[in-house]
Structure 1
Amino acid sequence: MADPNMQVLLEELQHRTEAVLSNLMNLSEEEFEQFADQRQRIVEQMQSFQPSITENNKQKIRDILSHDSVILQRMHVLKDEAGHWMEKRGAIRVQQHAYQQAYSVDSLFIDHRK
């Protein structure tokens, strides 16, 4: 039988994945980043138990990984939205720059009479 710590890690990974899935449309980029960091930490801890992984554990891991495509899809949507926002912000900045004064505030303008 596998070490109970492996079971605890798998349960934690499954719980966090289910929490993300249940609130998928409302998560922010920061929350997705936290999820990815937590998941990475759990996977790193699981690596020490790799020789003792059972078929039951492997099936549980496959079940957890089966949700990755849905999570990744949502992450890509958020990435695209951020990219569009950056492009729009850049376009606004270019337009504002065109209308900004191109002369120095403390300069003088001298008009000579003819």
Structure 2
Amino acid sequence: MHSLDDLVAQLESMTAALTVHLSTASADDLAGFVQQRDELIHSINAANSSPGERALLKPRVDKILRWDELIIARMAQLKEEAQAGMNKMNQGRVQRGAYEAAYTPDSVFFDRKK
């Protein structure tokens, strides 16, 4: 089992690596990061450590939490982009629906001349 310091160091390096290329990170990159991070946080919470050891690691954890603000902002940006794409697709469906025939294709239309 890893020590608490090792787990926090792993979380710290993983978060730092993501923030380096955060502006180009895809939704899949962020989803993988969140999954790995969740596993690490679970391990950190399960680690047997003294309150003193946890207090020593608090500044490093606070630094990671500051990076979280950037990561959450990127997630919100990707969410907005996805929502805009879905709105565009729905608008296309509505416009296409206006041009599609609202009658059965085997019907016959007679045009009279005046």
- RMSD, matched Cα: 2.1
- In structure 1, how many angstroms separate the alpha carbons of the residues matched to 2:18 and 2:89? 30
Aligned to 2:81: 81
Give the C-alpha shift of residue 5 in structure 1: 2.0
Give 5+ residue unaligned stretches, structure 1: none
The count of aligned residue pairs is 109
Corresponding residue number in structure 1 for 2:50? 52
Alpha-carbon deviation of 1:36? 0.9
CA separation of 1:40 and 1:4: change in aligned 2, threshold 3 A: closer
Question: CA, structure 1 residues 49+108, in 2 after alignment: closer, same or farther (shift >3 Å)?
Answer: same
Q: Could you tell me the TM-score, scaled by structure 2's length?
A: 0.83
TM-score w.r.t. length of structure 1: 0.83
Unaligned runs of 5+ in 2: none
Match of residue 39 from structure 1: 37
Q: Which residue of 2 aligns with 1:102?
A: 102
Percent identity, aligned pairs only, is 28
SS in 2 for 1:103: coil
Question: Deviation string for 1:58-109 (max 9, x for gaps)?
Answer: 221111111111111111111111111111111111000111122334x242
Hey, what's the Cα distance between the residues in 2 that align with 1:59 and 1:110?
A: 78
Amino acid at match of 1:63: K
Q: CA deviation at 1:9?
A: 1.1
